[in-house]
Amino acid sequence: MRILRWIVIALILGGCGPTYTETLASVSPDGKYRAKLLDRSRNMIRIDRNFRVAIEAEGETIQVLELSPDEGAEGAERFLWSVDSQHLLLVGRNFLTEGDAALAGGEKLYLLYHVPARRLWFNGRTAGERFGPELLKTIPFAEPLVFEETEPGE
């Protein structure tokens, strides 16, 4: 009986691990890839917002990125694909970023992923290779990017 009680308590407190709900999805221009933003279930108590970015090819998950960057509510972010479907960009208004990481409309450049090479650039507060307008200007995106103007010396 005592063992059963501990199992029940463990399941109540820890569950079987967090569950995630798809809150954003985007298909690449060539239709080969699908990116999904997966938020922790709303029934979990959250101090901050943890989420995953999953990238699928032909229905198979090829990459999952675990992230914890956002202080804001769901729905303030979006995916942008490069014209050739090679690069995936995640932008949003509430991301905590560092470096030269803003678009003119107030969205922050959070994550850039080269899908075939599985290379990640990351402007979050944890360690990662940073990216900014210089790199993004070399990649044609399906939607034009307008960068925040900075004064010389800033």
**Per-residue pLDDT for 83 more than 70?**
yes
Domain boundaries, given as residue ranges, for the chain: 18-136
**Per-residue pLDDT for 71 more than 80?**
no
Say what the pTM is: 0.75
The pLDDT value given to residue 74? 60
The pLDDT tens digits of the residues spanning 102-149 come to: 888 889 898 999 999 999 998 887 777 899 999 999 999 999 889 877
**pLDDT above 90 coverage of the chain, percent:** 31
Q: What is the CA radius of gyration of the chain?
A: 18
Q: Are the beta carbons of 137 and 76 closer than 8 angstroms?
A: no
Q: Are the beta carbons of 70 and 94 closer than 8 angstroms?
A: yes
Residue 9's contacts (CB-CB under 8 Å, 6 or more residues apart) are none
The pLDDT value given to residue 46? 47
CA 144 to chain centre: 20
DSSP 8-state class, residue 1: -
Q: Which of 39, 47, 48 is nearest to 77 (CA)?
A: 39
Average pLDDT for 25-30? 94
**Per-residue pLDDT for 40 more than 90?**
no
Q: Are the beta carbons of 94 and 71 closer than 8 angstroms?
A: yes
The pLDDT value given to residue 72? 57
Q: Is 138 exposed, middle or buried (0-12, 13-18, 19+ CB in 10 A)?
A: exposed
